[in-house]
């Protein structure tokens, strides 16, 4: 038996999840997820801990059986195949390298299980791809974290899977190494042309690497698209805050007027292009990214066509590339403003009066729960204490 019958010779195809659901008792970890991941793309599943992204990955790998739904590769449903029958390989979180086998045998493991005898050349080629020539006889414990990570990658890639799954592959690395590996992973993906599905809670990592990002929350996909599209025009308040920071001002809209949607917020009137409104009626959030806000000393300095809010600077943090201000508005909320330290901008001291303005084409409208308030103070990247 073994893996020789694996369906890896079938023509590759898109990976499709159809109504994929996983329940653990009463808890629904993955809720009717529908996704198409085109052949050869670099796809990221982004979300906080416990959002269902890892469970989704494990169902694709075959390590978890779906409660219902399908995992289609091309037009074949592989959802109920044992993991060793699937043309899918995984780079595990913290790598799961076999501690008793040396690097060579770790990388050769999949080939050997499929009854391939002459593995030497392939293994050497794969070690070269991940720049680990000459490390074959070491044990995993003798390698650094970054090296182990590359062994895990080589061990999966050598099998030429149709889909490579990466479960927080860079989570255990320090920041500098992580950046380096992000670039390297992207290079390798381009080189081998295999579909990569990358699970991460790090929004920057997802945006750096993936062609397409799916933001997951509570077992569902909140938004799917190219990183820039999601960032520039998020679909929900959750996405707006999970991916980067947003100033979300509670407002009311009363339908589009021409190409614009006028809204009222805290007594003032603003407008947003209709193309950038997810809703145009009822309770909405008027959203502007902090770096799209500009600070000036008084209202008459606001450029024509821009909209503005006046307030008092309540905090100024100099962080090198930019200065991050908090502007307390007349109604009490604080807006976050990032001013690039390009040398031309005026600097504001805490307590100074200032006016924040923005180009309406950079704003967006999101649906709002009727009771929801402004969400304008900086939100932590992820809830405290849940870092996987």
Partner 1 sequence: MSALAHVPTGQSTGAKPPPAARRGRYRALPYLLLLPGGGWLLLFFALPLLQLAAASLYDPGGSLATGYAMTWAFGNYPDALAAYWPHFLRSFGYAGLALVLALLMGYPLAYAIAQKAGRWKNLLLVCVVAPMFTSFLVRTLAWKTILSDNGWVVGLLRDVHLLGPDGRLLATPFAVVLGLTYNFLPFLVLPLYASLERLDPRLLEAASDLYASPVRAFRRVTLPLSMPGLVAGTLLFFIPASGDYINAELLGTPNEYMIGNVIDSAFLVRLDYPQGAALSFLLMAAILAVVFGYLRRAGTEDVL
Partner 2 sequence: MARFWRWVADRWVMGVALLVLGYLSLPILVVAGLSFNRPSSRLSYDFHEFTLDNWRNPCATSDMCDAVVRSVQIGFIATVVSTVLGTLMAFALVRHRFRGRAGINVLIFLPMATPELVMGTSLLALFVAAGVPQGFWTIVIAHVMFCVSFVVVTVKARLAGMDSRLEEAAMDLYASEWQTFRRITLPLVLPGIVAAALLAFSLSFDDFIITNFNAGTTVTFPMYVWGAAQRGIPPQVNVIGTAMFVIALLLVLGSTLRGRRARRAALPVAAPGAAKRP
Binding residues for partner 1, rule: CB under 8 A, are 63-65
Task: Give the nearer residue to partner 1 in terms of CB position, either 83 or 378.
Answer: 83
Residue 129 contacts residue 191 (beta carbons within 8 Å)? yes
Q: How far is the CB of 4 from partner 2 (least distance, A)?
A: 9
Q: For residues 85 and 266, which CB has a smaller minimum distance to partner 2 in the complex?
A: 85
> Among all chains, which residue has been given the structure tokens 């603003």?
270
| Residue given tokens 């005026």 in the structure block | 346
* Token pair in block for residue 373: 């308030």
Residue 65's binding partner out of partner 2, partner 1, none, with CB under 5 to 8 Å set by partner kind: partner 1
Closest alpha carbon to 53 in 235, 244, 237, 203: 203
Task: Return the bridge partners of 329, or none.
Answer: 311
Give the one entry of partner 2, partner 1, none that residue 36 binds, where binding means its C-beta sits below a cut-off of 5 to 8 angstroms depending on kind.
none
Residue 63 or 352 with smaller CB distance to partner 1? 63
177 makes contact, choosing from partner 1, partner 2, none, with CB < 5 to 8 Å by partner type, with none
User: To the nearest whole angstrom, how small is the minimum distance from the Cβ of residue 168 to partner 1?
Assistant: 18
Q: Give least dist CB 143 to partner 1, A.
A: 25
CB nearer to partner 1: give 3 or 62.
Answer: 62
Question: Residue 286 half-sphere exposure, CB side, CA atoms within 13 Å?
Answer: 26
Q: For residues 317 and 314, give the distance between their C-alpha atoms in angstroms, rounded to a whole number.
A: 10
Q: How far is the CB of 3 from partner 2 (least distance, A)?
A: 3
Instruction: Please choose which of partner 1, partner 2, none residue 135 contacts, taking the beta carbon within 5 to 8 angstroms, the exact cut-off set by kind.
Output: partner 2
- Strands, E assignment, the chain: 15-24, 27-37, 42-46, 68-73, 76-77, 88-91, 163-167, 195-200, 212-217, 220-225, 247-254, 260-265, 268-273, 281-288, 294-296, 307-318, 322-329, 334-340, 353-358, 364-367
Q: By the criterion CB under 8 A, which residues form the site for partner 2?
A: 1-3, 6, 61-63, 82-84, 88-90, 92-94, 96-100, 109-110, 113-114, 131, 133-135, 138-139, 141-144, 147, 155-156, 159, 180
**Binding partner at 23 among partner 1, partner 2, none, C-beta below 5 to 8 Å by kind:** none
* Residue number with CB closer to partner 2 (118 or 300): 118
**Inter-residue contact 209 to 220 (CB < 8 Å):** no
Positive or negative CA dihedral for 377, 380, 381, 382?
A: negative
Q: Between residues 236 and 388, which has the closer beta carbon with respect to partner 1?
A: 388
Q: How far is the CB of 65 from partner 1 (least distance, A)?
A: 7
Reference 63, options 49, 82, 44; nearest CA is: 82
Binding site partner of 331, from partner 2, partner 1, none, Cβ cut-off 5-8 A by kind = none
């Amino acid at each position: 038996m073994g893996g020789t019958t694996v369906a890896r010779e079938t023509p590759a195809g898109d990976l499709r999840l159809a109504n994929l659901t996983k329940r653990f008792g009463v808890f629904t970890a993955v809720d009717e997820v529908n996704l198409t991941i085109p052949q050869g793309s670099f796809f990221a599943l982004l979300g906080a801990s416990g959002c269902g992204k890892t469970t989704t990955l494990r169902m694709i790998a075959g390590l978890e059986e779906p409660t219902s739904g399908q995992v289609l590769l091309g037009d074949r449903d592989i959802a109920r195949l044992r993991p060793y029958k699937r043309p899918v390989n995984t780079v595990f979180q913290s790598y799961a390298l076999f501690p008793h086998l040396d690097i060579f045998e770790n990388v050769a493991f999949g080939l050997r299980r499929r009854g391939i005898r002459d593995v030497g050349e392939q293994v050497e080629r794969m070690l070269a791809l991940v720049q680990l020539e000459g490390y074959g006889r070491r044990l995993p414990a003798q390698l650094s974290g970054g090296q182990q990570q590359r062994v895990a990658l080589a061990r999966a890639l050598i099998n030429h899977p149709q889909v490579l799954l990466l479960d927080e592959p860079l989570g255990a690395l320090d920041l500098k190494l992580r950046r380096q590996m992000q670039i390297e992973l992207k290079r390798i993906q381009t080189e081998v042309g295999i579909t990569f599905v990358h699970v991460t809670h790090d929004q920057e990592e997802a945006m750096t690497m993936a062609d397409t990002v799916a933001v997951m929350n509570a077992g569902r996909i909140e938004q799917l698209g190219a990183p820039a599209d999601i960032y520039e025009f998020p679909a929900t308040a959750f996405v707006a805050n999970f991916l980067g920071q947003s100033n979300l001002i509670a407002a009311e809209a009363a339908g589009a007027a021409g190409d614009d949607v006028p809204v009222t917020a805290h007594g003032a009137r603003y407008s947003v292009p209709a193309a950038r409104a997810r809703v145009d009626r009822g309770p909405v959030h008027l959203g502007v990214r902090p770096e799209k806000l500009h600070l000036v000393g008084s209202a008459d300095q606001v450029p024509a066509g821009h909209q503005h809010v006046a307030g008092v600077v309540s905090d100024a943090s100099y962080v090198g590339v930019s200065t991050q201000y908090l502007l307390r508005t007349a109604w009490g909320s604080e807006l976050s403003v990032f001013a690039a330290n390009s040398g031309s901008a005026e600097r504001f001291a805490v307590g100074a009066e200032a006016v924040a303005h923005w180009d309406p084409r950079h704003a967006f409208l999101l649906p709002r729960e009727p009771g929801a308030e402004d969400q304008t103070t900086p939100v932590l990247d992820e809830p405290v204490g849940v870092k996987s």
